[in-house]
C-alpha cells in the first residue's frame, strides 16, 4: 500500500457501465491489498436515470458512501452528471470527464449551462487536474459505445497508483471470455490516449 | 480467500455454505439478486414463486420436510407474506428457516419507505441486522442456529445500501456440515386451530424470554469503548456512519435488534448522561430503549425520511460545519426514469391518453407511464391493486365516465395478485375492461421469467400459464390479443371495448425490448424538409426522440426501429434510415 487510501466517485447514466467500471476499480484496489467498499444502487437507473458508484479504499473503510468534499477522483461519463457531483470533490481533487453532453429531458426549454461553459469552468477551477476525454476520440478508439467506460478507466489508470497487473487481473476476472477482448482493447486504447504527453 | 461481494451475494453464498437446500422469493428491487445468485448454486432447490406469500408457504413446507430454507423479498413483499408470517411465529420451524427482507430507505426503487423491523416485533420473532457483507454472511449461519435452537423463523433485515454495497468477505469453503433433519409431523404444533394456537401462544412468549437471554450473551451485540464523551447505540449500516463520523465515541453496536439485550443496554447507558441512538427510518430502537428508562436523543435530530449518512450525522448530531467544498455555479435537473426506447407501452399509453381513458394500474414498468410526457396512469399503490381499484371506481362513476375506466396490469403482476381481483369483478357483475401488458418478463426488476413465460428460474421449460384459457374459464366474454406496435389496431380495439355490455380483456402481447434487443434491425430518421416541429412525436416519451435546437431528432444510437413515431407523425416526416 503506497497510498493510505482513496475515494473515487463514478457518475453517469444508466446503461453507460458505471456499475461495471466501479466493480473493476474496486477489484483492482482489492488486489493492491486495501479494504474496499463499493456502493451503487441498482434499479430505476436502468431506465435512463442517473447512476453513481462510490468506491472507497483504505486500511479500514466504514461508510460505503463518500462524504461531501472527500472525493479524490471524480470520473464522469456525461457533463451534466459531472457538474452535479463536483461538490463532492476535495479542493485538491481531480476530475476525469468525457465531454459528452446529454441534458436531462426535464431541462428542456430552461436555462442551463451548455457543454462549452461546463468544460470551461471545470478547467478554470481544476486546471490540469481536470482531464478532458474527447467523446469522438474515445468512441473512435474503443470502436464501441458500450466499452466507453473501459476506455475511461484506461485513461484513469495512467494517473492512479494501482499497478498495471492489478488492473489486468481485475479485468480478466470480471469478463467472460467472449467479452474480454473488446473490453481489454478499449482499456488499452484509453491507457495510450495521453501516453505521448 | 478474500472476495468482494454485495450484501445480496453474501447472503446467497452463505446459504450455500450453510446447507440451505431450499430457497424461494419473488423479484423486487433491492432484493432480487439474492434468489438469482442462489439459483446458480448446485444443490439448492431455488424458485421464483408467484408471490411472496406463496414463497413463504413453500419454504415453510420445505422446513417441515427437513430442509434448511430461505425466503427473500423486498420490504413490501413482506406485507403480502405477512398473513403466513404472523401465525408461522406460533408454529415455528422444523429445519432452520430464514426470511430475508430488504428495506429501501430513500425509496430509490419502491412505492413506500416502511421499516420492516416492526414486523419482527409484531410477529415476535428474532431480527438480525448486518452492517456489511461479511456480517450478512455470518448472520445466515447464526440465524440458522437460532432458528433451529429456538424453534422460530428468523428475520435478516438488509437495507438497499447493504444489499448493493460490495465489501470484503472471507470465503470459507462449501457446504461442509451435511445437515439432515427428518420430517416431523405434529398437529399440535402445526395445526393452528384455537385449542392448539392457545398453547403455542404461550410458547411464543416463553421463547421471547429465552431469546432475550440469548441477545444478552450474543457476541455480535458488542461495545466498542473509546475515550470520548459520547455514547451511541446503533445497528446495521448506521453503525458504519456512526463509527466514521464519531471516531472517539463509545458505541454499542447491536446486531440482534429484536429482542433487545436490556441489561447490556442499561449497563452501557449508565456510563453517559444520555445516549444517542442512530438509526434510519422508524425510531425502532429508540422507542424500546426509552421504554427502559434511558435518556435518549436520536430520531428527532435527523430528517425523518431517507437514508442517513456521515454528512447528516456531522451536521445534525455533531453540529460540525461542513467542509467547504468546491461549489459550482450550476443549474441542473434530476433525471426521472423513463421507459426504454421502442417499448411497447409507449404507443399503447399514448393512445390511452389520446382517447382520454382513466387508466388504473399498479406496480411495474408501466408505473412510469404516470410521468410526463405520457402522464396517463392514475393510480399505483400495490401489486395487483389496479384491477380492484378500477372496479370500485367504475361503480362510483356515472355512465359516461365509467366507460373510460380501464384497468392495466403487467403479466407478472397479474399472476402475483391480479387474478383474484379479476374474478371479483365477474362475480360481482362489475363490467370491466382490463389490459394485460404481457411483455413476457418481470421487466422492472431485470426481466425475470414467470409462469406466463413458461421458463423457471433455472431456465427449464415448464408449462406456460395461458392468460386466454385462464380468463376464458373465469367468464370473460371477449379476449382480444393486440400488437401494441400497430396503433391503428390498438385504437380500434379500445374504442370497441368502450361499448361492450360485458367484461372484456385485451392482451397486449409484445416482448420486453430488453429481452429481444435489435429485433427490427433498422432505425428511423426525420426528414428535415417535411418536419414542421409540431413535436407530436415527443409526446411518446421515447428516449430515442430528443429535442435538438428546438426540433425533434432521433438518436440513431438509441432508436430500435419500432416505427411508433412514424405512425403518429401527422406530416409523414419520419422514414426508415438507410
Cα separation, B236 vs B307, whole angstroms: 12
Nearest to B437 by CA among B492, B540, B511, B371: B511
DSSP B417: I
- Judge: B330–A47 Cβ closer than 8 Å, yes or no: no
Burial class (CB in 10 A: 0-12, 13-18, 19+), B30: buried
pLDDT in tens, B19-39: 999 999 999 999 999 999 999
User: In chain B, pLDDT over 70 holds for what percent of residues?
Assistant: 97
A113 or B271, higher pLDDT: B271
Angle at A10 between CA A4 and CA A15, to 5 degrees: 150
Size of interface A-B (CB pairs under 8 A): 149
Partners of residue B326 in chain A, C-beta under 8 Å: 69, 86-87, 89, 91, 93, 125
Q: Closest to B109 (Cβ–Cβ): which among A44, A84, A110?
A: A44
Closest CA of chain A from B184, distance in Å = 41
Cα separation, A178 vs B222, whole angstroms: 48
User: pLDDT at residue B267 above 80?
Assistant: yes
CATH class assigned to B524-576: alpha beta
Task: Using pLDDT thresholds of 50, 70 and 90, give the confidence band for residue B4.
Answer: very high
Cα separation, A42 vs B109, whole angstroms: 9
Q: Does B524-576 match B222-317 at the fold level? A: no
User: pLDDT at residue B417 above 90?
Assistant: yes
Cα separation, B305 vs B296, whole angstroms: 19
User: pLDDT at residue B269 above 80?
Assistant: yes
Query: To the nearest 10°, the Cα dihedral for B77, B110, B516, B578?
Result: 170
Interface test with B, best of A8, A44, A78, A79 (most B CBs within 10 A): A44
The per-residue pLDDT for B521 is: 85
State whether the Cα torsion B429-B433-B439-B445 is positive or negative: negative
> Could you tell me the CA-to-CA distances from A12 to A21, A48, A56 in Å, in that order?
11, 10, 18
Nearest to B355 by CA among B483, B493, B484, B480: B493
Mean residue pLDDT of chain B comes to 95
User: pLDDT at residue B435 above 50?
Assistant: yes
Closest CA of chain B from A154, distance in Å = 22
Segment B320-330 mean pLDDT: 71
Partners of residue B160 in chain A, C-beta under 8 Å: 41, 43
Interface test with B, best of A14, A20, A43 (most B CBs within 10 A): A43
Nearest to B544 by CA among B572, B509, B574, B511: B574
User: pLDDT at residue B437 above 90?
Assistant: yes
Closest CA of chain B from A196, distance in Å = 31
Query: Any residues with CB less than 8 A from the CB of B432 and at least 6 apart, and which?
Result: B387, B390, B391, B394, B405, B407, B422, B425, B503, B504
The per-residue pLDDT for A43 is: 61
pLDDT in tens, B553-571: 998 888 999 999 999 999 9
Cis peptide before B291 (omega within 30 of 0): no
The per-residue pLDDT for B332 is: 72
Parse chain B into domains and list their residue ranges. 2-217, 222-317, 344-509, 524-576
User: pLDDT at residue B382 above 50?
Assistant: yes
Q: What is the pTM of this model?
A: 0.95
Closest CA of chain A from B238, distance in Å = 8
Q: State whether CATH 1.10.10.10 applies to domain B222-317.
A: no
| DSSP labels, chain A | --SS-EEEEEEEETTSSHHHHHHHHHHHHHHTT-EEEEE---SGGGGT-EEEEEEEEESS---SSPPTT-EEEEEESSHHHHHHHGGGEEEEEEEEEE------GGGTTS----HHHHHHHHHHHHGGGEEEE-HHHHHHHH-SGGGHHHHHHHHHHTTSSS-HHHHHHHHHHHS-HHHHHHHHHHHHHHHTTTTT-
Segment B158-163 mean pLDDT: 97
pLDDT lower than 50: segments of chain A = 196-197
Closest CA of chain A from B230, distance in Å = 19
The per-residue pLDDT for B156 is: 98
Partners of residue A77 in chain B, C-beta under 8 Å: none
- Ranking B53-67, B312-326, B415-429, B443-457 by mean pLDDT, the lowest is B312-326
User: pLDDT at residue B447 above 50?
Assistant: yes
Partners of residue B309 in chain A, C-beta under 8 Å: 63, 65, 67
Cα separation, B26 vs B442, whole angstroms: 10
Q: Which CATH architecture has domain B344-509?
A: 3-Layer(aba) Sandwich (3.40)
Cα separation, B504 vs B477, whole angstroms: 6
The per-residue pLDDT for A144 is: 79
Partners of residue B334 in chain A, C-beta under 8 Å: 50, 104, 106
The backbone torsions φ and ψ at residue B72, rounded to the nearest 5 degrees and listed phi first, read -130, 140
pLDDT in tens, A142-159: 777 889 999 999 999 999
DSSP B448: B
Nearest to B108 by CA among A89, A181, A46: A46
The per-residue pLDDT for B363 is: 96
Q: Closest to A111 (Cβ–Cβ): which among B30, B243, B331?
A: B331
Count the alpha carbons within 13 Å of B269 in the hemisphere toward its beta carbon. Answer: 21
Cell digits of residue B373: 410526457
Tell me chain B's radius of gyration from C-alpha atoms. Answer: 27
CB-based contact B25:B49 (threshold 8 Å): yes
Q: Closest to B240 (Cβ–Cβ): which among A63, A69, A93?
A: A63
Task: Using pLDDT thresholds of 50, 70 and 90, give the confidence band for residue B174.
Answer: low
The per-residue pLDDT for B330 is: 59
Cα separation, B360 vs B369, whole angstroms: 11
- Judge: B30–A105 Cβ closer than 8 Å, yes or no: no
pLDDT in tens, B72-104: 999 999 999 999 999 999 999 999 999 999 999
The per-residue pLDDT for A197 is: 45
CATH superfamily ID and name for B2-217: Thiamin diphosphate (ThDP)-binding fold, Pyr/PP domains (3.40.50.970)
Cell 425466503 belongs to B71
User: In chain B, pLDDT over 90 holds for what percent of residues?
Assistant: 89
* Strand A71-76 to A35-39 pairing: unpaired
Domains parsed from chain A with CATH numbers: 6-191 (3.40.920.10)
User: pLDDT at residue B268 above 70?
Assistant: yes
Closest CA of chain A from B130, distance in Å = 13
The per-residue pLDDT for B47 is: 98
Q: Closest to A26 (Cβ–Cβ): which among B4, B108, B331?
A: B4
> Is residue B62 within a helix (H) or strand (E), and if so which, with residue range?
helix B52-64
Query: Any residues with CB less than 8 A from the CB of B444 and at least 6 apart, and which?
Result: B29, B363, B364, B365, B367, B410
Amino acid at each position: 500500500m503506497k497510498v493510505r487510501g482513496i475515494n473515487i466517485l463514478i457518475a453517469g447514466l444508466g446503461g453507460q457501465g458505471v456499475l461495471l467500471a466501479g466493480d473493476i476499480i474496486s477489484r483492482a484496489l482489492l488486489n493492491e491489498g486495501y479494504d474496499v467498499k463499493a456502493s451503487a444502487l441498482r434499479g430505476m437507473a436502468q431506465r435512463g436515470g442517473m447512476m453513481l458508484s462510490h468506491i472507497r479504499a483504505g486500511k479500514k473503510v466504514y461508510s460505503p458512501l463518500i462524504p461531501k468534499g472527500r472525493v479524490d477522483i471524480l470520473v464522469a461519463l456525461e457533463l451534466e452528471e459531472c457538474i452535479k457531483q463536483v461538490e463532492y470533490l476535495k479542493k485538491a481533487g481531480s476530475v476525469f470527464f468525457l465531454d459528452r453532453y446529454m441534458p436531462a429531458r426535464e431541462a428542456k426549454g430552461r436555462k442551463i449551462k451548455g457543454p462549452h461553459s461546463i468544460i470551461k469552468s471545470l478547467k478554470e477551477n481544476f486546471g490540469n487536474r481536470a482531464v478532458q476525454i474527447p467523446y469522438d476520440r474515445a468512441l473512435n478508439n474503443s470502436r464501441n459505445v458500450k466499452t466507453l467506460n473501459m476506455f475511461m478507466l484506461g485513461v484513469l489508470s495512467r494517473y492512479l497508483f494501482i499497478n498495471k497487473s492489478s488492473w489486468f487481473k481485475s479485468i480478466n476476472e470480471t469478463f467472460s471470455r467472449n467479452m474480454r477482448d473488446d473490453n481489454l482493447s478499449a482499456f488499452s486504447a484509453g491507457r495510450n490516449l495521453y501516453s505521448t504527453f | 480467500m478474500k472476495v468482494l461481494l454485495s450484501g445480496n451475494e453474501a447472503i446467497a453464498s452463505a446459504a450455500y455454505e450453510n446447507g440451505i437446500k431450499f430457497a424461494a422469493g419473488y423479484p423486487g428491487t433491492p432484493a432480487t439478486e439474492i434468489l438469482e445468485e442462489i439459483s446458480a448454486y448446485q444443490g439448492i432447490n431455488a424458485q421464483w414463486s408467484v408471490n411472496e406469500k406463496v414463497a413463504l408457504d413453500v419454504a415453510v413446507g420445505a422446513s417441515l420436510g427437513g430442509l434448511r430454507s430461505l425466503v427473500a423479498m423486498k420490504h413490501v413483499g413482506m406485507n403480502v407474506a405477512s398473513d403466513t408470517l404472523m401465525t408461522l411465529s406460533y408454529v415455528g420451524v422444523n429445519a432452520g428457516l430464514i426470511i430475508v427482507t430488504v428495506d429501501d430507505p430513500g425509496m430509490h426503487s419502491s412505492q413506500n419507505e416502511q421499516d420492516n423491523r416492526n414486523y419482527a416485533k409484531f410477529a415476535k420473532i428474532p431480527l438480525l441486522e448486518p452492517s456489511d457483507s461479511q456480517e450478512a454472511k455470518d448472520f445466515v449461519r447464526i440465524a440458522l442456529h437460532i432458528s433451529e435452537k429456538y424453534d422460530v423463523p428468523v428475520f435478516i433485515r438488509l437495507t438497499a445500501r447493504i444489499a448493493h454495497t460490495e465489501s470484503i468477505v472471507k470465503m470459507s469453503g462449501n457446504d461442509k456440515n451435511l445437515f439432515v433433519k427428518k420430517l416431523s409431523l405434529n398437529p399440535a404444533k402445526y395445526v393452528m386451530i384455537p385449542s392448539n394456537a392457545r398453547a403455542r401462544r404461550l410458547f411464543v412468549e416463553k421463547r421471547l424470554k429465552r431469546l432475550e437471554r440469548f441477545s444478552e450473551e450474543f457476541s455480535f451485540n458488542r461495545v466498542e469503548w473509546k475515550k470520548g464523551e459520547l455514547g451511541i447505540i446503533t445497528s446495521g449500516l448506521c453503525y458504519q456512519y456512526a463509527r466514521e463520523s464519531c471516531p472517539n465515541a463509545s458505541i454499542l453496536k447491536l446486531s440482534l435488534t429484536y429482542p433487545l439485550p436490556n441489561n447490556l443496554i442499561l449497563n452501557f447507558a449508565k456510563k453517559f448522561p444520555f445516549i444517542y441512538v442512530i438509526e434510519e427510518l422508524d425510531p425502532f430502537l429508540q422507542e424500546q430503549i426509552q421504554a427502559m428508562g434511558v435518556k435518549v436523543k436520536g430520531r428527532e435530530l435527523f430528517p425523518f425520511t431517507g437514508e442517513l449518512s456521515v454528512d447528516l450525522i456531522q451536521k445534525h448530531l455533531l453540529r460540525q460545519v461542513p467542509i467547504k467544498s468546491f461549489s459550482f455555479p450550476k443549474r441542473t435537473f434530476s433525471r426521472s426514469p423513463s421507459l426504454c426506447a421502442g417499448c411497447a407501452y409507449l404507443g399503447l399509453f399514448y393512445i390511452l391518453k389520446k382517447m382520454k381513458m382513466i387508466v388504473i394500474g399498479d406496480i411495474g414498468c408501466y408505473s412510469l407511464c404516470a410521468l410526463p410526457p405520457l402522464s396517463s396512469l392514475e393510480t399505483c399503490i400495490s401489486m395487483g391493486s389496479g384491477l380492484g381499484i378500477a372496479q370500485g371506481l367504475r361503480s362510483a362513476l356515472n355512465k359516461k365516465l365509467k366507460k373510460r375506466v380501464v384497468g392495466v396490469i403487467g403479466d407478472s403482476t397479474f399472476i402475483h395478485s391480479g387474478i383474484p381481483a379479476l374474478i371479483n369483478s365477474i362475480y360481482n357483475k362489475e363490467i370491466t375492461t382490463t389490459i394485460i401488458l404481457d411483455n413476457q418478463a418481470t421487466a422492472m426488476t431485470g426481466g425475470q421469467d414467470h409462469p406466463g413465460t413458461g421458463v423457471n428460474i433455472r431456465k427449464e421449460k415448464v408449462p406456460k400459464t395461458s392468460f386466454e384459457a385462464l380468463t376464458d374459464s373465469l367468464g370473460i366474454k371477449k379476449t382480444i390479443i393486440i400488437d401494441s406496435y400497430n396503433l391503428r389496431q390498438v385504437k380500434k380495439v379500445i374504442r370497441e371495448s368502450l361499448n361492450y355490455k360485458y367484461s372484456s380483456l385485451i392482451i397486449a402481447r409484445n416482448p420486453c425490448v430488453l429481452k429481444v434487443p435489435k429485433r427490427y434491425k433498422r432505425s428511423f430518421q426525420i426528414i428535415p424538409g417535411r418536419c414542421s416541429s409540431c413535436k407530436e412525436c415527443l409526446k411518446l416519451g421515447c428516449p430515442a426522440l430528443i429535442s435538438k435546437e428546438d426540433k425533434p431528432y432521433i438518436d440513431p444510437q438509441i432508436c430500435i426501429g419500432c416505427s411508433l413515431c412514424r405512425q403518429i407523425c401527422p406530416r409523414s416526416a419520419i422514414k426508415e434510415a438507410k
